[in-house]
Structure 1
Amino acid sequence: MSNNASTTTPTNPTRVFTNEDIADFNAQFHKLVDDCKLANVVTLIAHRGKIVNCDAYGVLDVSAAPPIPVRTDSIFRIASMTKPITSAAMMMLWEEDKWALDDPVSKFVPEFEGLKVKREEDGELVPQETQMTMRHLMSHSAGFGSRSEYADLDLRGGTLQDMIDTLAVRPLSFQPGKEWRYGYSVDIQGYIIQKLTGKFLDEFLEERLFAPLGMVDSGFFAPAEKVERLVSIHKYNEIKELVAVDRKGTYNTSRPNFLAGGGGLMLSTVTDFWRFSQMILNGGEFEGRRYLKESTVELMHTQALEAGVKMKMFRRPLDGLGFGLGFAIVQDSVAAKTAMEVGSYFWAGLYGTWFWIDPGKELVVVGLINHVIGLPPIEVPSVRELSAESVYRILNRER
């Protein structure tokens, strides 16, 4: 793929990342584009509060003629990277004593009162052994199944209230607290935010996070004046060629009926998401304004799962990881098969976006692609691990 769309802005405020380091880091991702593995990639590294690299390479859409270069302000679908943002909003309300971790979820969603649990071994419906709490809801251990278990229901096809009404007449998939399943828990958090505040979720996020943080391009829809900066989703076709997905239906131009706190079509840019992440790394403060208490942020990346409960994706256990209130946490880098260091916390999005925060190294890394990842085996390059290996090779070398 011919490409001249590189915008690299290396700086060196920390005297750790040299210009040569940055060039080597970026070259790895540029090669993925040049080899037609990716249509584009945008990456950002921040160390000790300063951006040391922000780079964009590739094109918005491989089918466009002439090709339009991707830029550092190009807008990507971040999907499940919305979840930590929603969780931060929830913790703002927690600090205001609007809810408590040991509150039953039914206090805020009375439709969930008395939900039965479908026993896996025989399908019998039995009572909850431990009442579903807000701690469970915040850590994907409330009892709701994975998204695939509700595939026939189109839970995001109506409104948030429609989702609640549908879940309220189905049994839980497991006893609260006893498993971790990645499903609709954060969408339910978004519903609770709306009930507690009397505002639409996008309004609350804009008022309390996006506007004050300067996240000017983040939201659930793209107004007409920003559509030209949207990145198309890409995939590999049947002969492994890189092709663009038809844009129709892949983004909203006005507020959607379903405001998905867990993902949906949330849009953002690399610098917008860095501003949120840096606020979290700073212990809830950014550019002189406090959003969360330091102790609250620490709680968010502290293990919230009961002993013995493991995260699983695609029915595979994720060893070496824990989960807090909105973030996965690296507890054992070797077991987790990651270059991210112990104590780092992170999440990712359906279309390949990624980020992690390392408080020990005072590090934030954000990466954006929009590619259909699909189920394992995954053919898309492991961009998060590539970035992690490169960054820690720089940080951990002897000087």
Structure 2
Amino acid sequence: MLTRTRSTGLDAKRLAKIDDFLAKKYVDAGRLPGTLTMVARRGEIAHVGLRGHADIERGLKISEDTIFRIYSMTKPITSIALMMLVEEGLIALDDPVHRYIPEWRNLGVFAGGTHRIGFQTKKPERPMQVVDLLRHTAGLTYGFQLRTNVDAAYRAAKIGEIEKDGDLDGFIAALASLPLEFSPGEKWNYSVATDVLGYLVQKVSGERFEEFLQRRIFDPLGMVDTGFHVREGQAHRFASCYQPTKAGGIEVQDDAATSTFLKPPSFMSGGGGLVSTAGDYMKFAQALANGGTAGGHRLVSRKTLELMTANHLPGGVDLPALSVSLFSEASYSGVGFGLGFATTMDAAKTLIPGSAGDYSWGGAASTFFWIDPAEELVAIFMTQLIPSSTYPVRRELRTMVYAALDD
């Protein structure tokens, strides 16, 4: 455990209690394999707490350089990449998506039917715009939502399998044959939209999506352990992923020794395909906390970041008011959604400490981060347990980090 608090205004004893709490409630109890908590304030790492294992079966302890599946924590990185192109005038938020994906020009909105007998559709109230992809109001979905006939059509069309073994072009072509859940802008639904953003980055930049991320974000920030697969020579640092058992323990869900993340994928998922370390992701998050810049390299401008972290939900409502999603990485009252991030609108309504304007997101394996500009605070939590809704650890972590403020 590393704790530096002299210039950060954080209480060292209270920060240490976070690790003891996680160990007692989750790690020692066999509910989580291991945890890594990293907290920074005013640009300085204030605390790194390590508990438990990266790989229980092989006795590998979790460490600062452990490599994790970050799944949907990929989404903010993809969103920043798209906004870089917006800043360069190559694409605009109110552009219709069919300008870049012509085969989507005539997408209809579900009005009845099933994938077996055929769908009845109606014309959307307006075309899908780029902003809808960023804020999940595009009318797209995930097949795992298990809520509607459109969700079922995603499963029948094997969209999830395309995301594993296909490519971006095939993914876009498959979606062209499916109806939208709703007219763009009418509702919020957690979806494959950010994977579509990855396709747009590739098409608009004229560069392969993974190469764009490497050249424009990972290399400049020194994110040497971040990518769409675990690189050669890094496998010994890769964590196994677990899932809960009916008995209350955990079992291996994706073994580090045989994981598909050990080799380059054919589908570069901007919605959930990256692996990373806590230190690498802190470099990205700290650049955002600094107003979009780090080490003399600017990702986006301060004003672009302010735009991204404002609430963009139509009508200015929060997520519970507009969401039809059975699952997302944030569902609290008082929380809105911007361009790639959940953002706190009213901390009192969340019933969790925080600040208006703090922003965050998480991943399917229970990873999580948030940035609080008002407090100059960045926190990252890494573990590997699917699904992320299993335990309220994110809520508990936020409460205890803010309890350590001492200025």
Residue of structure 1 aligned with 2:387, choices 367, 373, 376: 373
Which residue type is aligned with residue 67 of structure 2? I
What are the equivalent positions in structure 2 for 1:112-123 lying under 5 Å apart? 112-119=104-111
- CA separation of 1:13 and 1:206: change in aligned 2, threshold 3 A: farther
Tell me what 2:53 maps to.
Answer: 59
Residue equivalent to 1:251? 260
1:17 aligned to which of 10, 15, 24: 10
Aligned to 2:39: 45
SS of corresponding position for 2:378: strand
SS of the aligned residue for 2:187 comes to coil
Q: Over residues 239-265 of structure 1, what are the superposed CA-to-partner deviations in whole Å (9 max), with x where a residue is unaligned?
A: 22222234266332332110000003x
Q: Describe how 1:170-249 pairs up with structure 2 within 5 A.
A: 170-247=178-255
- Residues in 1 aligned to 2:294 and 2:280: alpha-carbon distance in whole angstroms: 13
Secondary structure at the aligned position of 1:297 is classed as helix
TM-superposed CA distance for 1:36, in Å, is 1.6
| Alpha-carbon distance in 2 for matches of 1:68, 1:249 | 16
Quick one: structure 1 residues 170 and 381, their matched pair in 2 at CA, closer, same or farther if it must change by over 3 Å? closer
Structure 2 unaligned segments of length 5 or more: list them: 145-150
1:282 to 274, 290, 297: 290
Question: Which 5+ residue runs of structure 1 have no aligned equivalent?
Answer: 1-7
Q: CA–CA distance in 2 between the matches of 1:119 and 1:249?
A: 43
SS state at 2:48 partner: strand
Corresponding residue to 1:314 among 300, 303, 326: 326
Query: After the TM superposition, which of the residue ranges 21-30 and 355-364 deviates more from structure 2?
Result: 21-30
Judge which range, 270-279 or 191-200, deviates more. 191-200
Q: Is the 8 A contact 2:12 2:404 kept in 1?
A: no
Q: How does 1:330-341 map to 2 (within 5 A)?
A: 330-341=344-355
1:237 is displaced (CA, Å) by 2.3
Provide the TM-score with structure 1 as the length reference. 0.91
Range with bigger deviation, 130-139 or 268-277: 130-139
TM-superposed CA distance for 1:311, in Å, is 3.4
Q: Do the aligned partners of 2:193 and 2:271 also contact (CA within 8 Å) in 1?
A: yes
Q: Is the partner of 1:275 in helix, strand or coil?
A: helix
Of the candidates 137, 154, 159, which is equivalent to residue 141 of structure 1?
137
Query: 1:36 — aligned with what?
Result: 30
| Residue in structure 2 matching 1:152, options 151, 156, 161 | 156
Q: SS in structure 1 opposite 2:260?
A: coil
The partner residue of 1:388 within 375, 390, 398 is 398
Contact 2:27 2:51 in 1 (8 A): yes
8 Å Cα contact 1:311-1:323 kept in structure 2: no
Shift in Å at residue 86 of structure 1? 0.2
Q: How many residues align?
A: 383
- CA deviations over 1:86-118 (Å, ceiling 9, x no partner): 000001011010101111001111111121111
| AA in 2 matched with 1:140 | H
Q: Secondary structure at the residue paired with 1:187?
A: helix
- Per-residue deviation, residues 63-88 of structure 1 (Å, max 9, x unmatched): 22xx1211011000000000000000
Contact 2:15 2:401 in 1 (8 A): no
Using the aligned pairs only, state the percent identity: 34
**What displacement does 1:327 show?**
0.3
Residues 219-255 of structure 1: per-residue CA shift (max 9 Å, x gap): 0001231001001001222322222234266332332
Distance in structure 2 (CA, Å) of the matches to 1:327 and 1:390? 22
Q: Structure 1 residue 120: deviation in Å?
A: 6.3
Which residue number in structure 1 is paired with residue 70 of structure 2? 78
Letter in 1 for 2:314: E
The match for 1:3 is none
Matched, 1:107 2:115: no
Deviations 1:306-346 (A, max 9, x none): 11562354169642211111001111234334333322110
CA contact 2:8–2:44 (8 Å) conserved in 1: no
SS at 2:371 equivalent:
strand
Question: Structure 2 CA distance, aligned partners of 1:167 and 1:319?
Answer: 31
Give the Cα–Cα distance (whole angstroms) in 2 for the partners of residues 46 and 312 of structure 1.
35
> 2:267 & 2:96 partners in 1: Cα distance?
24
Read off the aligned partner of 2:401 and give its amino acid letter.
V
| Structure 2 residue matching 1:256: 3-state secondary structure | coil
- TM-align CA RMSD: 2.0
**Contact persistence 1:62–1:244 (CA under 8 A):** no
Q: 1:5 corresponds to which residue? A: none
Q: Which letter does structure 2 place at the counterpart of 1:145?
A: T
